[in-house]
Amino acid sequence: MYAPEVLWCPFSTLPHGGTYWKGDSVYRSTYDCYQAEVDRTLTLVAGHRHIGMWLVHPWTSQALKYEALKPDCVVPIEALRNYYGGESLIRPVNIHHDKLEAVRMTLRWGVTGSAGKTESGREVLAMEAGSLLRRKLEFVLPDVQTPTAATLYYRLEDDGAEVYSTVQSITIFPRTRVEPEQTIAVALWDPAGRSDEALSAIGAEISPVADPARIPDGTQTLVIGAEAWTEENCDETAGPLFGFVNQGGTLVILHQTHWPQWSPVRIRLDRQHVASRVWKRAPGHPVFRGIEDAWLHDWRQSHVVSSFDFVKPTLGNATALADSGVKDGLERCALLEIRYGTGRILASQFRLIESFDVEPAAPRLLANLLTAAATRSPALQPIAVCAAPGAPVVGMLAFLSADMKLLERPLSPAGLQAHNIILVQLDGTLTPAEGRALYERAAAGALVWVRGADAGTTRILEEITGCEWKEAGTPLDIWEGRAVIEGHPKALAGLSNGEFYWKRGNFGDLHGLEKPSWKIADLAAAYLQPAKTGSARSLLYPAAMWVVQTGEGRVLVDLVRWAEEQNPDLQNEARRIASALLTNAGVRLAPAERMAELPEDIVWQPIDLSPYANMGFADPVEN
């Protein structure tokens, strides 16, 4: 069978489609984006070779075709990631010999870890011309005391000389009981009866709840068990459950296949989505304490890490803690934190319960989820805004239903004293005295958020931040319309580099990620940087966002045009950036509006349109 151009698949649109393979890193450079192409090519070609196709033609670079189509090679056809020490691991492999002569080769395999290399086995292979052998190789994994990175190695030799070698990364976990950092008491509503054993196994003290409308007084954390919500009960139970959150409770929602019509943030489940690679989007969150990135990839037994993931919201006090890629980018969310009233929701679509007994990462993540639920977050607050009433930033804050107050001018230390979060839109009217008042308020512990700075406002910016600023110059062409997050700043938790990729990105092979002509709009109107290195920390490269520590508080210098940009192609990115920045700053956003309900006594009268609307594509008219 001939398979021409096998790589034209839904994920061939880069960079967005590459997020499935490499997550957020595909937006950093063409090289990183190319690595997603490498992963995809090797996987798909290996699959076609596995089913016995010939003349496979991957439409990609010559070097990558050679890497994917090496005539003598060992191809593992499984990539499960996490195992327990002492296990006997069985891994199926294909051994290809696509040459015209018969050959005898030796296959060696084993484990390389902290204690060095241990050979698990060897076999002498007699291979005919153009042959394919299938084997199941056994690896004996060493016992470990802590999670330990290791590799499985595969090596083909011809008379002692290496013909081919490859490795697979794994993590080996100790067989010890996993528990939260402290004993955590939770109430559990688990009508499906699937979650109590797993919660008990990690040491949670459980108080069963039979009726969500009767949550016991004094409950601080309530867990909704996996698959608790059904089409029949999710809407009728949503009211008391979200009401519990509004009054200060923490709601932990385990994997669900149904979701209420109304929740504090508008939520939609993607019923078709299954993720085998999930990426941390807020690595500093307590839920990920001690959890390595690689542990969230390729869970046992089915590779599935999460499913029915949330379509990533663009509005509201929601933080995407973990996401996964689809052809349009990192638009699905496996773990979501929602702030509502004085409480919060931790909603997880990780397959924690289903995978609990076989996947070493699942108990750890579940224990962390309960530990994170037991922590308390500062109350959300209003934001004070210094901007002209008709400024775009005021319009965006109003659209997001931010709890805001417009400040009266001139600004004074006494007038700013009552406000902990202050947003200032620089428009050329701020005086040096007002700048100094903002600096003093930041030094006393407030967040002062400065937008709209440019070359003409650097003097005022220096008054507010206490450090000198200068123009950073026009970014190189390769940075037009995009920026990348530096490190893991709390101010940008929940955001990926995809939100700051304001380019088309609908290209395939031979087009660079940085190609300027793909730009939709400029990310910033001006780029500034501190005159003295070290006086501010960069959050977005190149020179699009900075934070300055000032006494007990900080000044955020935000040059991104999320309020001004009107292009509909960037609507989701701009709103998500604004919502995330506000949420991370601690600003209260109004919950989603409830759907209007029709009166109960309404009478429906059906109208038969079949004589007029049953013609399919035929629509005859008098002419």
pLDDT value of position 2:
45
pLDDT value of position 55:
59
- The Cα 447–Cα 420 span in angstroms is 6
Side chain identity at residue 367, one-letter code: A
Question: For 440-462, how does the pLDDT look when each residue is reduced to its tens digit (9 = 90+)?
Answer: 999 999 999 999 999 999 999 99
Question: For 195-236, how does the pLDDT look when each residue is reduced to its tens digit (9 = 90+)?
Answer: 999 999 999 999 999 999 999 999 999 999 999 999 999 999
Cα–Cα distances in angstroms (integers) from residue 384 to residues 406, 423, 433, 466, 557, in the given order:
6, 6, 18, 21, 16
Phi and psi for 13 in degrees, rounded to 5?
Answer: -85, 110
Comparing CA positions, the residue from 142, 167, 125, 154 lying closest to residue 89 is 142
Confidence band, pLDDT 50/70/90 cuts, at residue 614 = low
For the sheet containing 383-386, what is the strand order? 404-406, 383-386, 421-425, 447-451, 553-558, 545-550, 537-541, 484-485
The percent of the chain in helix, strand and coil, each rounded to the nearest 5, is 25, 30, 45
pLDDT value of position 604:
84
Prior bond of 15 cis (ω within 30°)? yes
Instruction: Check whether 10 has a pLDDT greater than 50.
Output: no
Which token pair is 438? 């903002």
Question: For 309-331, how does the pLDDT look when each residue is reduced to its tens digit (9 = 90+)?
Answer: 999 999 999 999 999 998 889 99
Residue 509 has a CB neighbour count (10 Å cut-off) of 13
Question: For 509-544, how does the pLDDT look when each residue is reduced to its tens digit (9 = 90+)?
Answer: 444 566 777 889 999 999 999 999 889 999 999 999
Confidence band, pLDDT 50/70/90 cuts, at residue 180 = confident
Of the ranges 99-113, 300-314, 495-509, 565-579, which one carries the lowest mean pLDDT score? 495-509
pLDDT value of position 5:
54
Residue 194 has a CB neighbour count (10 Å cut-off) of 17
Once rounded to an integer, what is the mean pLDDT over residues 62-90?
A: 85
Q: Where are the beta strands (DSSP E) in 563-621?
A: none
Of the ranges 5-9, 104-108, 171-175, which one carries the lowest mean pLDDT score? 5-9
Confidence band, pLDDT 50/70/90 cuts, at residue 187 = very high
Cα–Cα distances in angstroms (integers) from residue 547 to residues 46, 455, 559, 571, in the given order:
47, 18, 11, 25
- The Cα 361–Cα 27 span in angstroms is 28
pLDDT value of position 9:
52
Q: Count CA atoms closer than 13 A to 400's CA, side-chain side.
A: 34
Rounded to the nearest 10 degrees, what angle do helices 432-443 and 458-465 cross at? 30
Residue 267, SS3 per DSSP: coil
Give me Rg for the CA atoms of the chain: 28
- The Cα 402–Cα 382 span in angstroms is 7
> In sequence order, what are the beta bridge partners of 106?
124, 157
Rounded to the nearest 10 degrees, what angle do helices 392-399 and 571-585 cross at? 80
Percent of the chain with pLDDT over 70: 92
pLDDT value of position 245:
97
What pTM was estimated for this model as a whole? 0.92
Side chain identity at residue 500, one-letter code: F
Residue 572 has a CB neighbour count (10 Å cut-off) of 17
Cα–Cα distances in angstroms (integers) from residue 403 to residues 172, 237, 369, 400, 579, in the given order:
48, 28, 29, 9, 12
Once rounded to an integer, what is the mean pLDDT over residues 72-79?
A: 93
Only one residue has tokens 């030094």, namely 443
pLDDT value of position 158:
93
Which token pair is 432? 């040096």
The pairs formed by 24-31 with CB atoms below 8 angstroms and a separation of 24 or more are 24/279, 24/281, 24/330, 24/496, 24/497, 24/498, 25/497, 26/513, 27/482, 27/484, 27/496, 27/497, 27/498, 27/500, 27/501, 27/513, 28/484, 28/497, 29/513, 29/514, 30/512, 30/513, 30/514
pLDDT value of position 81:
95
Given its phi and psi angles, is residue 227 left (phi above 0), alpha (psi -120 to 50 degrees) or beta? Answer: left
Prior bond of 301 cis (ω within 30°)? yes
Domains of the chain by start residue, with CATH: 2-68 (no CATH), 86-173 (2.60.40.10), 185-374 (3.40.50.880), 383-481+521-585 (3.40.50.880)
Query: What is the helix (H) or strand (E) element at residue 73, kind and residue range?
Result: strand 72-76
pLDDT value of position 80:
94
Average pLDDT of the chain?
Answer: 91
pLDDT value of position 618:
59
* Most confident range, picked from 15-19, 111-115, 383-387: 383-387
- The Cα 423–Cα 255 span in angstroms is 38
Once rounded to an integer, what is the mean pLDDT over residues 375-403?
A: 95
Which token pair is 50? 């596995």
Of the ranges 62-71, 416-425, 479-488, 519-528, which one carries the lowest mean pLDDT score? 62-71
Q: Where are the beta strands (DSSP E) in 327-478?
A: 329-340, 343-348, 383-386, 404-406, 421-425, 447-451, 469-471
- The C-alpha angle 130, 133, 137, rounded to 5 degrees, equals 150
Question: For 470-480, how does the pLDDT look when each residue is reduced to its tens digit (9 = 90+)?
Answer: 999 888 888 98
One-letter-per-residue 3-state SS of 197-261? HHHHHCCCEEEECCCHHHCCCCCCEEEECCCCCCCCCHHHHHHHHHHHHHCCCEEEECCCCCCCC
Query: Nearest 10 degrees: CA dihedral of 196, 188, 322, 331?
Result: 110
Residue 445 has a CB neighbour count (10 Å cut-off) of 12
